Amino acid sequence: MTDVKIVVDSSADLLSMDGISFASAPLKIHAEDKRFVDNAELDVVGMVEFLYSYKGKSSTSCPNTEDWLSAFGDAERIFCITITSNLSGSYNAARVAKDEYEAKYPGRKIELIDSYSTGPEMALMAEKIRELAMAERSFEEISEYMKGYKTELLFVLESMKNLANNGRVSKIAATLAGFLGIRAVGRASDVGTLEMLGKFRGTPATITAVTGYMRDMSYSGGRVIISHCLNEKCAEELRDAIRHLYPSADISVRECRGLCSFYAERGGFLVGFETA
Ligand code: X90
């Protein structure tokens, strides 16, 4: 197996990866007198319940250069994947850390990937890198392959309050969600911002819309990862609906960690998928 390390920020919802060197750099979630570090120790359910009843100001912050350097550790070859640079400073901090690391240790190399997305789409990228490393592909071959690896992200949100309050979507877009029983569906745009697609009432209509958007976005039966925030039921219904249409699809359902839970909010879910 090719000796590479995979490093992501915590928006990828990954705590570990089997059979490969791995680290996650935490984002942080801030309330007035509380701070949640998005690492393996975070009680995500406790945080979501706290935020649900909390009426004060809350925000997030990205990993700093030190966080990234400590995630890089002492690896010789690293693939580093960040949340979209158009909504977070994570990519910039990772770039500063990469430059410092490569200058300090000549010969070491970091391939930095701006996902222009987050959550399960980042997890798909990380898993593809792991698969190629397991298959003995060289660092350069993996870098080359990843330039053509095509994936997309859809999201389904019951509330966009935290996104709007933190300036990640317009207040107008945020009004798409937030009415009882109404869910807003959108996608990560090509430049890594939120692009709203429509609003739907009830689970069956939402699931039909999501599988329809997936097809329109050239999904044809590849790998899918669904991350949900306290909404396993919907995530599993979506998984079953996709499986019904594409019987051989490889689909996994996971829980959002801290950062994605903060923005997706209770009931929200994200769908990352490979495209043709
Ligand atoms: O640096 C920071 O503080 C992090 C800011 C992150 C802002 C957006 C996170 C979105 C999380 C919500 C739906 C998916 C949106 C996909 C857009 C590319 C999840």
Mean of per-residue pLDDT scores for the chain:
96
Q: What is the pLDDT of residue 2?
A: 82
Reported as a single tens digit per residue, the pLDDT across 34-70 is: 999 999 999 999 999 999 889 899 999 999 999 999 9
Cα dihedral sign, 71-111-126-46: positive
Cα 227 from Cα 184, distance rounded (Å): 16
- Whole-structure pTM value: 0.97
Q: What is the pLDDT of residue 108?
A: 97
- CA–CA separation, 67 and 7 (whole Å): 11
Q: Which stretches of the chain score pLDDT less than 50?
A: none
Does ligand 1 have an atom closer than 6 angstroms to the CB of 78?
Answer: no
The residue assigned the tokens 């999201």 is: 155
| Amino acid sitting at position 71 | A
d(Cα 95, Cα 235) in Å, to the nearest integer?
34
Q: What's the gap in Å between 247 CA and the centre of ligand 1?
A: 31
How many angstroms does the Cα of residue 260 sit away from the middle of ligand 1? 7
Per-residue pLDDT tens digits for 130-151: 999 999 999 999 999 999 999 9
Q: Hey, what are 249's tokens?
A: 């699809």
Confidence at residue 184, expressed as pLDDT on a 0 to 100 scale = 96
Query: What gap in Å lies between CA 143 and CA 148, rounded to an integer?
Result: 9
86 Cβ closer than 6 Å to some ligand 1 atom: no
Structure tokens at 194: 């939120």
Q: Whose CA is nearest to atom 7 of ligand 1?
A: 87
Tell me if 10 CB under 6 Å of ligand 1.
Answer: no
Which residue out of 194, 195, 256 has the highest number of ligand 1 atoms within 8 Å of its CB and is therefore the one to mutate? 194
Which atom belonging to ligand 1 lies closest to the Cα atom of 86? Answer: 18
Look at ligand 1, atom 3, and give the residue with the nearest C-alpha. Answer: 61
- Residue owning the nearest CA to atom 10 of ligand 1: 263
Q: Could you tell me the distance, in angstroms and rounded to a whole number, from the CA of residue 217 to the centre of ligand 1?
A: 21
